[in-house]
Amino acid sequence: MVRPDLHLPQAFVAWMSPFLAAFCQRSRDTAAALAVGALLAIGPRTVTNCLRALGLAEHPSFTAFHRVLNRNVWSGFALARTLLRQLVPVFEPGRPFVIIGVDHTLERRRGRRIEPASHFHDAVRSTVKNKVTSRGLRWISAMLLVEVPFAGRIWGLPVLTALTPSKNWCEHHKQRYRPVTEWAERLLLTLHRWLPDRVIVAVMDGEFAAIDLLHRLRRYMVVITRLRLDACLFDPPSEYKVRGRYPKKGARQPSLKARITDPATVWKRAVQASRTSWRSGGWIEYASGTALWYHGGKQPLPIRRVLVRYPDKRHDTEAFLCTDTQMGPVDVLDCYNRRWSMETTYEEVRPSPGHSTRLCLAEPLPVSPISASRPNVSGRTRRSSAPRRCCSACIRCSPSTSSRTPSGWRCRRAGPPGIPSRRPPSPMLWRVCASMSGSSVLPRRPVPPT
């Protein structure tokens, strides 16, 4: 087979060299070419569309690029570690800590050959009164929550992702079932090993507010989650009186629900941190204190509780906890407020074409960077007739959704079959495409007819 003669920009290859080290010598050129094609492609980030942007769509050895995703062996852990160590010094150069958000999302899939797919709770389609379940793949992601200077807002940059199969699927295939809390622990401890000189502040939703999980994580990092309003909170234990066993807890504190209407509760006012530079947050009132969170049969957990209410009634009263009792309540709220950037990331990636494409990787564990291909749980590669996405395309480089399509651009589903729809790329992607497509090596991609 005649392999394509690739003439890639040396500056781009040098910038990609830390990531290309995870591939074998024979696959590095094709992987770098896919990364260039992902930046230049307009439309779905499939391998075919990337080759079309590079002018290699009619090359007889186009299968060499498809083998990077469906046959070649490379380490997703190595790519995730390199990606994290490249992002932290750039966006958090002076801080001694980094903020990591952990959350899971449901990728709806209805194919019969997708074995890990099961029925999970669909938070997008569910309401308070009506609970909806959908069939699909459940992914849990760890994202770096940083402020991007040129964007003027907080971004959630995915660095590590794991597939969480259901209990029925694990029992049917005789595999060990791990709940979502255990997957979150594995992801966070992995990131802690990769960043030994930084303090990790893990921000998670109330689903991960489990005493056992917080006990195991508080030795390595600071954890901030939601707290139930009916949680059993106690004072620290009194002095030991020589006789009897040592007390685990003290007197019972009033419940958080009772503190909301208690006139003795001292409320302080502050401005909520904003996730954008062009809009300020609203006013909030908070009441904070320390307590021991106790549940029968478990060790008490020392926490800082923060009760928040909104004077304008835009939200219901909420409660949060932090495993670091010395952390200020405003800092706790500012860190948790960054978690909503993860929802923006999920919302932007769901409507993008090619998001629901199943990619396989010869990786023994179902953990990989979300910017890389998705590994198969069984470790075996599978052939699929669905179009493949490029593994090196960053989620944040995806163009805007159809709801933000200005006049003069067509919706992404309005194009004729076989021709990618014309969508406006982001300003950052436009500058990268203009600089790279202007070289004499990479041809310009033809504009599809209107």
Terminal C-alpha separation, the chain: 37
Confidence (pLDDT) at 442:
39
**SS3 for 156?**
strand
3-state secondary structure of 232: coil
Residue 323, pLDDT score: 95
pLDDT of 4 reads 66
Does an H or E element contain 107, and which? strand 97-108
Question: In the structure encoding, which two tokens stand for residue 189, read together?
Answer: 């401890």
Write the single-letter amino acid at 316.
D
> What confidence score (pLDDT) does residue 334 get?
92
Each residue's pLDDT, cut to its tens digit, for the chain (450 residues) gives: 566 667 777 888 888 888 988 888 888 888 888 888 888 887 777 888 888 888 888 888 888 888 888 888 888 889 999 999 999 998 988 888 999 999 998 888 888 888 788 889 888 888 888 999 989 989 999 999 998 888 888 899 999 999 999 999 999 999 999 999 999 999 999 999 999 999 999 999 999 999 999 999 999 999 999 999 999 999 998 877 767 778 888 899 999 999 999 999 999 999 887 767 666 778 899 999 999 999 888 999 999 999 999 988 888 999 999 999 999 999 999 999 999 888 888 887 765 544 444 333 333 334 433 333 333 333 333 333 333 333 323 333 333 222 333 333 333 333 333 444 444 444 445 444 444 444 433 334 444 444
Dihedral of the alpha carbons of 150, 156, 157, 159, in degrees to the nearest 10: 160
Closest to 349 in 3D by CA, of 151, 161, 128, 83? 161
Model pLDDT, residue 278: 64
d(CA 249, CA 239): 11
pLDDT score of 122: 87
Q: Exposed/middle/buried for 251, CB within 10 Å: 0-12, 13-18, 19+?
A: exposed
5, β-bridge pairs: none
Residues near 268 by beta carbon (within 8 Å), at least 6 away in sequence:
285, 286, 287, 288, 329
Question: What does the alpha-carbon distance between residue 293 and residue 361 come to, in Å, rounded to a whole number?
Answer: 42
What are the residue ranges of helices labelled H in 176-294? Answer: 180-194, 211-217, 256-261
Tell me the backbone φ, ψ of residue 252, rounded to 5 degrees. Answer: -75, 130
Question: Distance between CA 246 and CA 53 in Å, rounded?
Answer: 70
Measure the CA–CA gap between 194 and 49, rounded to whole angstroms: 34
Best CA proximity match to 31, nearest among 43, 17, 41? 17
What phi-psi label fits residue 418: left (phi over 0), alpha (psi between -120 and 50 degrees) or beta?
Answer: left
Q: What is the pLDDT of residue 277?
A: 63
User: Angle at the Cα of 197 (from 193 to 201), degrees rounded to 5?
Assistant: 75
What are the residues whose beta carbons fall under 8 Å from the beta carbon of 41, sequence distance 6 or more? 49, 50, 52, 53, 390, 420, 445
Put simply, whether the predicted model's pTM sits higher than 0.85 gets the answer no
Q: What integer pLDDT is reported at residue 16 of this predicted model?
A: 85
Q: Token pair for residue 17?
A: 């060299």
CA distance 164 to 120: 11
Q: What is the 3-state secondary structure (H, E, C) of 18-80?
A: HHHCCCCCCCHHHHHHHHHHHHHCCCCCEHHHHHHHHCCCCCCCCHHHHHHHHCCCCCHHHHH
In Å, how far from its chain's centre is CA 138? 12
Taking Cα atoms as reference points, which of 176, 101, 104 lies closest to residue 139? 104
In DSSP terms, which residues pair with 234 in a beta bridge?
A: 252, 292
Q: How far apart are the C-alpha atoms of 388 and 402, rounded to whole Å?
A: 22
How remote is the C-alpha of 449 from its chain's centroid?
36
Tokens of 447: 């504009």
Q: Could you give the maximum distance between any two Cα atoms of the chain, in Å?
A: 87
